[in-house]
Chains A and B, each alone.
Chain A
Amino acid sequence: MTTTHETTPMKHRDAVGIVRTTLAKIGRYVFIGFVIVFFALPVLWLVTAPFDQAPALRLSVPEFTLQNFQVLIDNPYALRSMWNSVIIAVGTMAIVLVLAALAAYALSRVRVPGRDILLYSLLLLSSIVTGTAAMVPIFVLITELQLIDTYLAVVLVMAGGLLPAAIFILKDFMDNTPKSYEESARVYGASPLQILRHVVVPIARPGLATIAVWGVVQVWGNFLIPFILLRSPEQFPGAVVMFTFYTEGGQPNLALISAFSLLFSIPVVLLYLFVSRRYGFRFYGGIKS
């Protein structure tokens, strides 16, 4: 490169740079666009298909009708299964919340040798408990306990699977509550349960709310455990009942499935919005002062 031509290649290089950054930008937006479409399509289908006269596995402007919901109401299992889902979800959530709160509080306050190892191994094992690998032993266990075809079986197995993670998250909230709060209440004569009720629970409330919603969502969408542990169709929760919506010809009954899907997702969305507005979601503890 000679000195006389020094400016031209510099300009050239600038131009190349601009083109390159522009192309990179375009590429990035196109990629983001694809990702958005990928995630948005199912949601769009979810809100349009239920109102379509002939829903299919594609997106189209619906020929508006509420007929699909009429079919849904006429189905003997559809609405009942929603109620079953509520029972199982709320039952599991209640067990997880109470046990996890107490366990997390105790683990956070009492020195237990090997506590962290215990927590981490529980967390690791919990994914196996509710996972496919342990389904056979769980089925055998529940059969031996004569709990097969009961809500209790589903609730217990689901709660067992969720507890370690719940304890793990809540313990962080409890750890970040200064001990002096409790000691202060103790000096004024509060009993341990009063301390828990007046001080610890209110401070850990965002954590408890997060765990409650997370627990409900986990149970709400779970198919495998109720499918294996429940026998009678009138006990099936929504996630399992959806699996039975077929036409006589053996084709998926998309009218029923789409309407049910929309109905099935509404409670979770509402719950999420309510808790998010009321308490705010947080996965860490601590006090803002």
Chain B
Amino acid sequence: MAEITTHQLVKEFPGGVRAVDGLDLTIADGEFFALLGPSGCGKTTLLRTIAGLEAATKGRLTIGDRDVTELPPGKRDVAMVFQDYALFPHMSVADNISYPLKIQRVPKSSRHATAAETADGLALHGLIDRRPGQLSGGQQQRVALARAVASNPTVFLFDEPLSNLDARLRLEARTFLKRLQRDLGVTTVFVTHDQAEALALADRIAIMKEGRIQQIGSPREVFARPANTFVASFVGSTPMNLHTATVSGEHVKVAGSSVPIPPSARSRVSDGDEVIWGARPEYLRWSTEPVEDSIEGSATIVENLGAAALVTVDAGGTLIQLVVDEDDEPEMGARGWVVPRIDRTLLFDGASGELILDDTPTSP
């Protein structure tokens, strides 16, 4: 059992900056958990506090059934992979991988056997005698992972594990990382600023901003039901359209047109409420014919995304983005109608930015 629990965890830096601000969080045993947020949101500080590299200012932290708040990092039974991998440049791959065992006073022959075995498992066969400087970025990353695996910890902590790889390698490494975590079944916390990475890898994601958690949920929940406008705009490869709107009967008035109230929010709003209407570009459709319950505008910018295109539509001064199939790409300046998928649109509170949601949510 290696559940991680934080209770009212605070990390305050000298000068009064609260990087982690009263955090209550439970990460289940065996879970692949992502801390996602923009830079400076405190996610790395939280990870380093779990590792013990930063001392918590207030609050408790437990790993498994042990309270580790006061323990030094070496006694917490965690392994950490750093953003720059932190491989020791003067040691061979074998010595790097077996370094945790050296500290644990495992005899040399048996720790080198473990290193070789671990290296084989991570596709590092034949590289065991090289120095880190002679390896590619992807290989270095796998050596860092192998070192973490070899120490046989109860918790893995990854600090931006993929950010030092180039784009193509990153996809490969992502799949590799997910399979490794599933095979080992070790509780894993990783930090990323890349929402796509978090969505692809994690069982659950915590989105952080200014030291506080904005939302915790599965990738699907976070994507489909963002708790507030911050999460809505942060998660998703193209940012969600968020526009102020006014409730009017069964409709909301947005960008000079009128669209139906999303079913998930219908019972919670009343006539005249100021709200924010949110719709992901992927859930909007382009129509050249007039359609009821749609927003009229003209296509001003078309950005090619490969199999699709991101179209920016000017609807009376409000810019709305939508993703259209490559076959339906509109001409620049063409007039048309943006048709939302009503069950995928969301309403947020106009003042607080919180999601407006029925108490009995329809499954996303």
Looking at B20-28, B75-83, B321-329, the stretch in contact with chain A turns out to be: B75-83
Binds B, one of A35-43, A56-64, A184-192, A266-274: A184-192
Tell me whether A117 is interfacial, beta carbon within 8 Å: no
The yes or no answer to B40 lying at the interface (CB within 8 A) is no
* Chain B residues with CB under 8 A of A288: 89, 133
B109 interfacial contact with A, CB 8 Å: no
Q: How close is B236's CB to chain A, nearest CB, in angstroms?
A: 31
Q: Is the CB of B103 within 8 A of A194?
A: yes
Q: Is the CB of B82 within 8 A of A184?
A: yes
For chain B, the count of residues having a C-beta within 8 Å of the partner chain is 26
- Which residues of chain A are near B53, meaning CB under 8 Å? 183, 186-187
Out of B74, B83, B90, B133, name the residue touching A188 (CB < 8 Å).
Answer: B74
Which residue of A180, A202, A289 contacts B133 across the interface (Cβ within 8 Å)? A289
CB distance from B82 to the nearest CB of A (A): 4
Taking the nearest CB of chain A, how far is it from the CB of B341, in angstroms? 46
A199 within 8 A of B: yes
Contact B79 A187 (CB under 8 A): yes
The proximity string for A residues 157-187 relative to B, scoring 1 for CB distances below 8 Å and 0 otherwise, is 0000000000000000000001011011111
- When A288-B133, A289-B132 are in contact, do A187 and B80 touch as well, CB less than 8 Å? yes
Contact with A along B53-80 (1 / 0, CB 8 A): 1000000000000000000111100111
Does B84 sit within 8 A of A, measured CB to CB? yes
B146 to chain A, nearest CB (A): 13
Over the window 261-289 of chain A, the binary record of Cβ atoms lying under 8 Å from chain B Cβ atoms (1 yes, 0 no) is 00000000000000000000000000111
Contact A189 B103 (CB under 8 A): yes
Interface of A is mostly: helix
- Residues of the A chain whose Cβ atoms lie less than 8 Å from the Cβ of B75: 189
User: Is the pair A188, B89 in contact by a Cβ cutoff of 8 Å?
Assistant: no
Chain B residue at minimum C-beta to C-beta distance from A185: B99
Count of chain A residues with a beta carbon within 8 Å of a chain B beta carbon: 21
Q: Is B52 positioned at the interface, with any CB of A under 8 Å from its CB?
A: yes
Known contacts A183-B53, A183-B86, A189 near B80 by CB under 8 Å: no
Measured CB to CB, the nearest residue on chain A to B157 is A187
Complex Cα gap A95–B340 (Å): 76
Pick from B80, B86, B102: contact of A178, CB under 8 Å? B86
Given A183-B53, A289-B89, A289-B133, 17 additional A-B pairs, CB 8 A: A178-B84, A178-B86, A180-B86, A184-B80, A184-B86, A185-B88, A185-B99, A185-B103, A187-B51, A188-B74, A188-B151, A189-B75, A189-B100, A203-B88, A287-B89, A288-B89, A288-B133
User: What are 30 of the A-B contact pairs (CB < 8 Å)?
Assistant: A178-B86, A180-B86, A183-B53, A183-B82, A184-B82, A184-B86, A185-B99, A185-B103, A186-B53, A186-B74, A187-B51, A187-B73, A187-B79, A187-B80, A188-B99, A188-B147, A188-B151, A189-B73, A189-B74, A190-B74, A191-B74, A194-B103, A198-B88, A198-B99, A198-B102, A199-B88, A202-B90, A203-B90, A287-B89, A288-B89
